Amino acid sequence: MKAYYLTQTSFRSTVCATLSILLSLLATQLSAQIITTIAGSTLKGDGGPAISAALSTPTGVAVDGNGNLFIADQDNHRIRKVTPDGTISTVAGTGAYGYSGDNGPAINATLGSPSGIAVDATGNLFIADQNTHSIRKVATDGTITTVAGNGIAGFSGDTGPATNANLHTPYAVAVDATGNLFIADQANHRIRKVATDGKITTVAGTGTQGYNSDNIQAIAANLNTPSGITVDATGNLFIADALNHRIRKVTTDGTITTVAGTGIQSFGGDTGPATNAQLANPTGVAVDASGQLFIADLANHRIRKVATDGTISTVAGTNIQGFSGDNGPATNAYLNNPSGITVDATGQLFIADKTNYRIRKVATDGTISTVAGNGTPDFSGDNGPAINAALGSPSGVAIDGSGNLFIADKTNYRIRKVATNGIITTIAGNGLFGFSGDTGPAINAQLAGPTGVAVDGSGNLFIADPDNSRIRKVTIDSKITTVAGNGTAGFSGDNNPAINAALNNPTSVAVDGSGNLYIADRTNHRIRKVTPGGTISTVAGTGTAGFSGNNSPAVNAVLNNPTGVAVDGTGNLYIADRDNHRIRKVTPDGTISTVAGNGTQGSGGDNGPAINANLNTPSGIAVDGNGTLFIDDTFNHRIRKVTSDGTISTVAGNGSPGKDGDNGPATSAQLNAPFGVALDGGGNLFIADQANNLIRRVSAPASVRINPSTSISACVGSSFSLTATAINFTPTSYTWTSQPSGLSASGASPVFTAPSVSTATTYTLTVTATDGTTNVTASVNVSVNPLPVPTLTASNPLNGTLTSATLTASGGTSYLFSGPSVVSQNSISGTAVANVSGTYSVTVTSIAGCSSTTSVALPGTDLSPTIDLPQANFPIGSTSNFLVNVFEVSGLPTSMNNVVITITAPTGYTLSFDNSLTGIIVSGGSATPVEVDNTKWAVSAATPGVQLTLTINSGQFIPAKGKATLGFSLTRTTANSGSTSSITVNVKNDAAKTYDGNTTNNVYARIINGL
């Protein structure tokens, strides 16, 4: 799932604009919310190891010539196949109860509690589909057909086509070597035969339930609920005549006899003649290659063997009903209502250990093991994808801050966790009903039908363990403890430690932001609260079942089997008052009221006030950050929503129990007695679809959002980017339009860069989804604010007396000064002090956050040069030395690295400069050398002999009222005698470098004469 948000990512300020989010910017629904299954499956472990799979009342087994094992998985309404490598799969049945699919793939067909199977020599599979009163056939290409039974319970059709005949609860099938099919037509008390030409006949039984005689024609004998059948290599038929407690044999001439059992329901006779032994409801028979007969002696929880000499013995099971003994002698193992049996070509015995939900194998050495089934009819899938796992009446869900999903897997006596990668594991409960394990690892503990879960902000998990009358806690280190309830069902303990209190069928828990734990103490008709310190109290309910107390203290109100609790972010407590068909609310001050449901059981009221609507045994509730309430309307098979304005609607479920509708609109889907709801941070809704053994998710509404959701500021003339965010749908293109400018821009990028704005503009975004719909829109209004108009003045120029000036700005609410030397500034009053000449600027910001800048020149003192040359007369070929002084006449310090001097020689004279010179004798002056600073100057440009540009080295300076000096020489070359010329010195760029406010008087000319 992708999410896109529209966010301002940049802006530049010249003119300020305010961007405000319009109402259409709120989540705009693209299409109906979609429902999917995220945990739970009817696969029951398919594709994985058979010993990890969930079987539900397996009643029949068969083995083909390749060693594949077939299982009649009765209550899963499937035929399962276990390959020799131990992998299980479904070969017939979808898991849904029914009759459909003929002439199509068997895996797409529905079956009705299949109880018996057989495989013929070519690999065709025959199914006793007992509750559809038909025999189905799966050909080797996987196609299913009906070969006997018209689907109507009854008896008819003998000597005609088998598909036109009536059967009544056919329970077992067998195929002989020539392809004849035999049916244990249980409720007709007959054995029927379908010949290879498709005609059906009765081969044993009169239709009268009971026992009359042996050694007569089988069609004259009475049978009593025949439940198992097999054929030996010579064509003899063996019948498990269940309620006659006998095994009957029909020879090829049609004579019936008893080969095991006296007709008395009991156990006895081992090591003696089988006909003297007692059996108890035998339901399965098999014959091995040597003619030994094996009996599933169901109510004795044993497998019996009749040797070829007629002696009976026990080969598996004891007198104890249960499960034990794997990997040991089969005769020491416990079985639980074994109902079906088969033998493979090597003599290995396979047992449908019905109420242990397993298939057991007895090897030829007598060792027993489990080859299919994990012992729990609705548990499988740990450490694999949650959508392939089996759940057992999931009755509560919770989501932690990281997005992990927790499931109260009620009849599996476990808490399951689905990580964000979709993998499911067990985090609490060992699968055994009971109470144990406190202070140890949670996965080793026993739970008793957990129905509610909640997670606090620290990641601790709380479990409503109703049949233990306790609330359990699993800490982040996976240790389990009891935090409320002493294990005795009842009411006691308020205002004392919660672990000493009595609870009665607590079904739901919730935790608030302060760590207070709330308990729906269902059969006490109360809501209890446990503080972080462990003290328990009642916060709603008197303990009497009924309805009263609205708009008064909740502790005086009457509740009726409250089963769900939730707490919102402001401390309001919500109660699913199940048998009052209402949702109650307790405010932080303890006042109770009804927020949904009028108290009449029903389903009406959508799109109107929730308090006028009908609910039907609401069982779970959740509340989101906006105060929207979600209700498990359990026997309306819906999830209802109450918005903050009190309006109720349906968000999932069409009101018809079932499980259809995945990947479509949630309101068109079927739910089946939903019992728990939770919300994640993205607004996705999770549903414990209890009777479907699924966890469903309803995606949050598809929408597009522009962030932030409050007004933001930018400036007209700036360019800013907006980023769109699509929520719960995949976008393919984005189209922006503007009014009144008429701009239109489209593309695949969610980022839009708006042009500079100068007038009020509305930008509208339309996002197109990959499915072609274009009804997701959002808009942004841009309103323009005026620019500030700044002013800036200087109080005075700088000179030797006025060494600083005050700069004053106006036109805004805040000010920021910059320039060569801002000594101090006040951003509120708009004043600053400067002590160096130059250009100063101020940035003025208005109350709307828009800014403008202006500047002012602050005048300062001059840099003045002089040239010393007492003798200015040049004979031909003579050279004279000059001294240049650069004065800071007003005495202000000046950074010398910004002083540039240009010396220009007149025509007919040649200029020279020695950079290493530190002293010079000025021509016509004193004979004593004068100090010069030539080493402090660098030649930056020169025309040899004609012009020289010098820059003071970095770091040099002219002291206050000081000077900088340099010396150079001039040689007369071609100047005419009697000529008069000028040598010039120019101090340049002073104003730009802040040293000089006047550049017009910085040129000095010295007249020289050619003699």
Query: Tens of pLDDT along 506-550?
Result: 999 999 999 999 999 999 999 999 999 999 999 999 999 999 999
Query: pLDDT value at position 957?
Result: 65
Q: Are 351 and 362 contacting, i.e. CB atoms less than 8 angstroms apart?
A: yes
pLDDT tens track for 697-746? 999 877 777 765 545 678 888 877 788 888 777 888 888 888 877 777 78
Does 161 score more than 50 pLDDT? Answer: yes
d(CA 673, CA 688): 9
Strand 535-540 to 582-586 pairing: unpaired
pLDDT band at 19 (very low <50, low <70, confident <90, very high): very low
Q: Are 962 and 894 contacting, i.e. CB atoms less than 8 angstroms apart?
A: no
pLDDT band at 860 (very low <50, low <70, confident <90, very high): low
Q: Are 687 and 676 contacting, i.e. CB atoms less than 8 angstroms apart?
A: yes
d(CA 695, CA 688): 5
Q: Are 748 and 767 contacting, i.e. CB atoms less than 8 angstroms apart?
A: no
Does 773 score more than 80 pLDDT? Answer: no
Query: pLDDT value at position 1001?
Result: 53
pLDDT band at 4 (very low <50, low <70, confident <90, very high): very low
H or E segment and range at residue 603: none
Query: pLDDT value at position 5?
Result: 29
d(CA 70, CA 90): 9
pLDDT tens track for 481-513? 999 999 999 999 999 999 999 999 999 999 999
Query: pLDDT value at position 997?
Result: 46
Q: Are 148 and 134 contacting, i.e. CB atoms less than 8 angstroms apart?
A: yes
pLDDT band at 29 (very low <50, low <70, confident <90, very high): very low
Torsions phi, psi of 811, nearest 5? 110, 0
Q: Report percent pLDDT > 90 for the chain.
A: 74
Torsions phi, psi of 898, nearest 5? -105, 10
Query: pLDDT value at position 1002?
Result: 67
**Length of the chain in terms of residues written:** 1011
pLDDT tens track for 875-917? 989 999 998 887 765 545 555 556 788 899 999 999 999 999 9
Between 91 and 862, whose confidence is greater?
Answer: 91
pLDDT band at 421 (very low <50, low <70, confident <90, very high): very high
d(CA 669, CA 652): 7
pLDDT tens track for 94-152? 988 999 999 999 999 999 999 999 999 999 999 999 999 999 999 999 999 999 999 99
Average pLDDT, the chain: 90
Beta bridge partners of 963: 887
Query: pLDDT value at position 959?
Result: 65
Q: Which residues contact 574 (CB under 8 A, 6 or more apart)?
A: 564, 565, 566, 567, 568, 583, 584, 585, 586, 595, 621, 623, 629
Q: How many CA atoms lie within 13 Å of 845's alpha carbon, on the beta-carbon side?
A: 12
pLDDT tens track for 572-609? 999 999 999 999 999 999 999 999 999 999 999 999 99
Cα–Cα distances in angstroms (integers) from residue 232 to residues 119, 239, 249, in the given order: 14, 11, 10
Query: pLDDT value at position 589?
Result: 98
Say whether the peptide bond before residue 708 is cis (omega within 30 degrees of 0): yes
pLDDT tens track for 34-58? 999 999 987 789 999 999 999 999 9
Does 3 score more than 90 pLDDT? Answer: no
Query: pLDDT value at position 775?
Result: 67
d(CA 225, CA 206): 12
Q: Are 259 and 238 contacting, i.e. CB atoms less than 8 angstroms apart?
A: yes
pLDDT band at 961 (very low <50, low <70, confident <90, very high): low
In this structure, the dihedral spanned by the alpha carbons of residues 51, 56, 59 and 65, taken in order and rounded to 10 degrees, is: -40
Q: Which residues contact 678 (CB under 8 A, 6 or more apart)?
A: 397, 398, 399, 405, 622, 685, 686
d(CA 138, CA 685): 41
Q: Are 616 and 633 contacting, i.e. CB atoms less than 8 angstroms apart?
A: yes
**Cα angle, residue 923 at apex, residues 922 and 925 outer, rounded to 5°:** 70
pLDDT tens track for 911-940? 999 999 999 998 888 889 999 999 988 898
pLDDT tens track for 227-251? 999 999 999 999 999 999 999 999 9
Query: pLDDT value at position 20?
Result: 38
d(CA 972, CA 407): 107
pLDDT band at 22 (very low <50, low <70, confident <90, very high): very low
Torsions phi, psi of 401, nearest 5? -65, -20
Outline where DSSP puts E strands in 390-445. Answer: 394-399, 405-409, 414-418, 423-428
Query: pLDDT value at position 6?
Result: 31
d(CA 1007, CA 1011): 13
Q: Report percent pLDDT > 70 for the chain.
A: 92
Q: How many CA atoms lie within 13 Å of 680's alpha carbon, on the beta-carbon side?
A: 18
pLDDT tens track for 314-342? 999 999 999 999 999 999 999 999 999 99
How many C-beta atoms surround the C-beta of residue 924 within 10 A? 13
Q: Are 471 and 463 contacting, i.e. CB atoms less than 8 angstroms apart?
A: yes
SS3 of 266, please?
Answer: coil
Query: pLDDT value at position 888?
Result: 63
Q: Which amino acid is at 264?
A: I
Using the structure block, give the residue that is written with the tokens 């479509």.
Answer: 664
| Cβ-count burial 543-552 (b if 16+ within 10 Å, e if not) | eeeebebeee
Mean pLDDT, residues 952-958: 73
**Cα angle, residue 950 at apex, residues 949 and 956 outer, rounded to 5°:** 160
pLDDT band at 355 (very low <50, low <70, confident <90, very high): very high
Q: Are 969 and 842 contacting, i.e. CB atoms less than 8 angstroms apart?
A: no
Mean pLDDT, residues 369-386: 94
Query: pLDDT value at position 14?
Result: 34
pLDDT band at 989 (very low <50, low <70, confident <90, very high): low
